[in-house]
């Protein structure tokens, strides 16, 4: 999700939930994303995952941003859309993880623990490095951007 404020591009990023990410900030924020299989179209999956991870509604038109590969090997296919939300209203789905690692203990965590609006310069510092090209693509595709 993106918006324009005072001629500046703002992007909505989310922070992963759980104990592993609790004290990490710079370089750990991400676009809302998730997995899908061959029975689901990538854009449909992106819309579903955005809703599941944030609780916010999604509306097009959608700007196709292409794809990036994360260090894990996971390929992210992404779209952007113009919108607005109050990050305080974020409600994420949950998942179960093993914590501490290799302990055999399972805990339930929110997939996303918070969201925030970032101006593009700050977003570049906060987002996972592999996703920076997605920010650049949004910037190149958003019309009437002055800054």
The pLDDT value recorded for residue 38 is: 86
> At a CB cut-off of 8 Å and minimum separation 6, what does 71 contact?
130
Structural contact between residues 45 and 62, judged by C-beta atoms closer than 8 angstroms: no
The pLDDT value recorded for residue 34 is: 84
Q: What is 2-141's CATH topology?
A: Nucleoside Triphosphate Pyrophosphohydrolase (3.90.79)
> 101-127 pLDDT, tens per residue?
999 999 999 999 999 999 999 999 999
Q: Which two tokens stand for residue 65?
A: 């941003």
Distances (CA, A) of 58 to 39, 97, 125, 126, 132: 21, 28, 26, 23, 22
Residue listed under structure tokens 């992963």: 16
The pLDDT value recorded for residue 36 is: 86
The pLDDT value recorded for residue 35 is: 84
The pLDDT value recorded for residue 82 is: 96
Low-confidence ranges of the chain (pLDDT < 70): 144-147
The pLDDT value recorded for residue 140 is: 94
Strands (DSSP E) contained in 23-122 are 63-69, 75-80, 94-98, 106-110, 112-119
């Amino acid at each position: 999700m993106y918006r324009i404020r005072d001629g500046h591009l703002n992007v909505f990023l989310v922070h992963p939930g759980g104990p592993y990410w609790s004290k990490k900030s710079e370089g750990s924020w991400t676009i809302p994303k998730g997995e899908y299989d061959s029975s689901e179209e990538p854009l449909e999956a992106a819309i579903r995952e955005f809703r599941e991870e944030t609780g916010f509604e999604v509306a097009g038109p959608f700007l196709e941003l292409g794809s990036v590969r994360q260090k894990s090997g996971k390929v992210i296919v992404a779209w952007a859309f113009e919108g607005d939300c109050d990050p305080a209203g974020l409600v994420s789905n949950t998942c179960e993880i093993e914590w501490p690692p290799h302990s055999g203990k399972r805990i339930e965590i929110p997939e996303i623990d918070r969201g925030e609006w970032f101006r593009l310069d700050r977003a570049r510092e906060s987002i996972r490095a592999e996703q920076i090209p997605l920010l650049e693509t949004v910037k190149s595709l958003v019309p009437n951007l002055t800054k």
